[in-house]
Amino acid sequence: MRESAVEKAFVDAVRKAGGEALKFTSQSRNGVPDRLVLFFSGKAAFVELKAPGKQMRPLQRKRRKQLEALGFPVFCVDSMKQIQPAIRALAEWNPGEPIPTGIGVQVPEIENAELPAKDTEAGKGDDAR
């Protein structure tokens, strides 16, 4: 199964649940998750979609930690069976509560994922590392 099949099924399931799964790309940052998921009551999360068995790259794991440090859930989904648990976790989660864990692919942790000290430092080649 290809990543595109998992992604299409995920987007369709989010819409059926009343949310939006917007394609998320960044002109200045590599490694950002594939989808920005928006649900009722101002809920927002990021989802990286992968082909079955594929892992997040180190830069994607770094971005995950950065987004989680800002309070946003970030999930990695690589199979159809992970779609509904991820959507359910996001629908039940409330901003300010602990970020849901154990959803989707278990991603190895990384040590360093600090945010830049200033916004002006954010674009100074951190994607090249």
If we measure between CA atoms, which residue out of 86, 2, 3 comes closest to residue 50? 3
Going from N- to C-terminal start, the domains of the chain cover 3-124
One-letter amino acid identity for 110?
I
Looking at domain 3-124, does it have CATH number 3.40.50.300? no
Write the DSSP symbol of residue 124. S
Question: 48 forms bridges with which residues in the sheet?
Answer: 76
Give how far the C-alpha of residue 77 lies from the chain's centroid of Cα atoms, to the nearest Å: 9
Secondary structure element (H or E) that encloses residue 90, with its range: helix 83-92
Proportion of the chain above pLDDT 70, given as a percent: 80
pLDDT of residue 118: 47
pLDDT of residue 128: 42
- pLDDT tens, position by position, 20-62: 999 988 889 999 999 999 998 889 999 999 999 899 999 999 9
102-121 average pLDDT score: 53
pLDDT of residue 105: 59
pLDDT of residue 37: 96
